Amino acid sequence: MTFNKKIKLGISVLAVGGLIASGSLFFTSTNASPKFSELNTPKISLEASYIEYGTVDELDSNAELIVIGTPLQGFDDRQHIVTSFDDGTIQDFYTLTNVKIDKVIKSPEGVALNAEEPLSIVEPISYIKDAGSKKKIAYEDYTELKQNEKSIIFLKKNTQGQYSVINMDLGKFAIEPSSQSPSISGEKQDSKEQFRKSVLEKYDLK
DSSP state of 34: P
**pTM for this one?**
0.79
Listed residue (193, 188, 198) closest to 45, CA to CA: 188
Residue 190 CB-density burial (10 A; 0-12 exposed, 13-18 middle, 19+ buried): exposed
At CA 39, angle to CA 98 and CA 179, rounded to 5?
85
Domain residue ranges in the chain: 5-202
> Over the stretch 48-85, which tens digit does the pLDDT of each residue have?
999 999 999 999 999 999 999 999 999 999 999 999 99
> Over the stretch 104-155, which tens digit does the pLDDT of each residue have?
999 999 888 888 899 999 999 999 987 788 999 999 999 999 999 999 999 9
Helix (H) or strand (E) holding 201: helix 187-202
Q: In CATH, which of 3.40.50.300, 2.40.50.120, 3.30.56.10, 3.30.365.10 is domain 5-202?
A: 2.40.50.120
CA distance 194 to 21: 35
CA distance 107 to 58: 16
Hey, is 45 helix, strand or coil? strand
**Alpha carbon of residue 100 to chain centroid:** 15
